[in-house]
Amino acid sequence: MTARPALAVALLGAGLALAGCGSGDRPRPTPADGVRAAANAYLGALGARDWQRACGLMTPAARRDLADAAGVPCPRALAAGGAEGAEELSSARRELAGADVRIRGTAASIGPLGTAQQPLRLRRVGGRWLVAGA
């Protein structure tokens, strides 16, 4: 083998080795992982008092229901008291890793979390899990 083909083979081997790095080290994310991640993002947005982001992590129907019930847009409804206190949100987020996740088609639930009596409900919309209600 001349120097050039040997170099090409070495580079190809290195490229294949790099492409394989990490792919077998971590398990593939499961649908339950997606539900947990969506719930974590939502609770994180509420904890950060980022009402706009929290509303963006809700289904359109959930945003509409909240706004209709409060008589103000979703972000204002959350700011006016639709969100739990910081300690409650922090407690709920700590429970996410071990919380019961149930998935049925495009609907899912996680929890109950914190002091909530009911699980957090999510729905898969456009390839994303979004909060549909409690």
**Residue 40 corresponds to which tokens in the numbers above?**
């974590």
What is residue 16's predicted lDDT score, i.e. its pLDDT?
34
Q: Is residue 92 part of a domain?
A: yes
Q: Where residue 126 sits, what CATH number does that domain have?
A: 3.10.450
Which contacts (CB < 8 Å, 24+ apart) does range 71-79 have? 75/51, 76/51, 78/46, 78/51, 78/54, 79/49, 79/51
Of residues 53 and 1, which shows the higher confidence score?
53
What is residue 20's predicted lDDT score, i.e. its pLDDT?
43
pLDDT tens digits along 78-105: 998 755 687 888 889 999 999 999 999 9
Q: Residue 11 pLDDT > 70, yes or no?
A: no
Q: Is residue 21 part of a domain?
A: no
Q: Is residue 50 part of a domain?
A: yes
pLDDT tens digits along 17-40: 334 444 557 788 899 999 999 999
The count of domains in the chain is 1
pTM of the model: 0.77
How far from the centroid of its chain's Cα atoms is residue 94's Cα? Answer: 14
What residue has token string 């407690």? Answer: 91
Q: Is residue 8 part of a domain?
A: no
Q: Is residue 15 part of a domain?
A: no
Q: Is residue 66 part of a domain?
A: yes
Q: Is residue 19 part of a domain?
A: no
Domain of 104?
29-133
